[in-house]
Amino acid sequence: MSLLAMALTASTQPLLGKALELLMDMGFKNKVPFSLWWIPGVLVSIFVLRGIGTFATAYYNNWVLSRVLNDLRGQAFARLLRLPVARFHEESTGKVINIVVNDVRQVVDMIQSVFISFVRDVLVVIGLLGSLLWLNWMLTLVAIVVVPLTAVIVRTTSRRLRQLNRENLRVTAEMTQVVEEAARGHQVVRVFSGERYENRRFFLRSEALRGFSQRMTVAFAATTPVTQVATSVSLSVVVVLALRADMTVGEFTQFVTLMLMLLTPLKALAEVNGPMQRGIAAAESVFALIDAPVEHDPG
């Protein structure tokens, strides 16, 4: 149902471009063989369909993902209860708690952002590119030269983001451990005046997280403007070529409108990389816990 809803939402964008073409070519010249009131009716109907598709997509995706979250947390917690005692001596309790509570949430967030954005935006891109190819395939081929460039940019930042996210998860687990130890041993901390020491431990982890956040932001944020500049150059060339081509006002309006609509899903696809790398790093720790060997119980 979610895929059908996303397909419905994606189909409304090419329909809107076609409606604008008919409006420019026929509506303003009063050449339509029907009442002009049909035009706003069609436009409203398109946006009604878009609203229904958007609502259905959000509803069914949340229905599925909330169950995925519960199942993953349940499996992780069930395995935690059966872990060997040595595991709790080798790793901090805070790290294990962080996997069950925080890392599972990041995996589900990754599924939500990556799956929804990827499937929905890919459907939109396919629909818009199909309409553009049908309208003028030569101009469309000029426009899509930006796609390989986007792929190169995303691939370049993927490895950097994945490594930073792994380190970020490790330091987050250490911070959880510091807070847990300070909370459980607060009487010992007060008796031995360890407040300064505990503050220092927390500050070091907090500063490390801030540094990772800044470096991830640099790697992630640089992707979008570079992609947008490349897309705008391609769009500018296409507009000049379209003005020289034998196109009606409506066809030109439709082509430019569809090209502008194409910018949003392309930008969203370029931004998928950041959440995906965070989710992959979290998934490694979650499934490592779920697949961990259990303690032998001879009964």
**What would the 3-class secondary structure string for the chain be?**
CHHHHHHHHHHHHHHHHHHHHHHHHHHCCCCCCCCCCHHHHHHHHHHHHHHHHHHHHHHHHHHHHHHHHHHHHHHHHHHHHCCCHHHHHHCCHHHHHHHHHHHHHHHHHHHHHHHHHHHHHHHHHHHHHHHHHHHCHHHHHHHCCHHHHHHHHHHHHHHHHHHHHHHHHHHHHHHHHHHHHHHHCHHHHHHCCCHHHHHHHHHHHHHHHHHHHHHHHHHHHCHHHHHHHHHHHHHHHHHHHHHHCCCCHHHHHHHHHHHHHHHHHHHHHHHCHHHHHHHHHHHHHHHHHHCCCCCCCCC
Q: Is the separation of the CB atoms in 258 and 45 below 8 Å? A: no
What pLDDT, in 10s, does the model give residues 41-54?
Answer: 777 887 888 788 77
Asked, for residue 212, whether it belongs to a domain, the answer is no
| Cα dihedral sign, 214-279-111-122 | positive
CA distance 97 to 89: 14
Q: Is the separation of the CB atoms in 128 and 260 below 8 Å? A: no
170 class by beta-carbon count within 10 Å (0-12 exposed, 13-18 middle, 19+ buried) = middle
Q: Is the separation of the CB atoms in 231 and 266 below 8 Å? A: yes
Q: What is the pLDDT of residue 26?
A: 60
CATH number, domain containing residue 102: 1.20.1560.10
Asked, for residue 55, whether it belongs to a domain, the answer is yes
Asked, for residue 70, whether it belongs to a domain, the answer is yes
Only one residue has tokens 């002009």, namely 36
What pLDDT, in 10s, does the model give residues 168-200?
Answer: 777 777 788 788 777 777 777 777 787 888 888
Domain range for residue 78?
Answer: 2-171+218-290
Q: What's the number of domains the chain is made of?
A: 1
Q: Which parts of the chain have pLDDT scores under 70?
A: 1-3, 6, 10, 13-39, 143, 146-151, 154-155, 158, 224, 242, 245-246, 250, 270-271, 273-274, 295-299
Asked, for residue 45, whether it belongs to a domain, the answer is yes
Asked, for residue 253, whether it belongs to a domain, the answer is yes
Asked, for residue 155, whether it belongs to a domain, the answer is yes
Asked, for residue 200, whether it belongs to a domain, the answer is no
Q: What is the pLDDT of residue 291?
A: 85
Side chain identity at 207, as an amino acid letter?
E
Asked, for residue 181, whether it belongs to a domain, the answer is no
Q: What is the pLDDT of residue 78?
A: 85
pTM of the complete model beyond 0.85: no
Q: Which two tokens stand for residue 135?
A: 């309208």
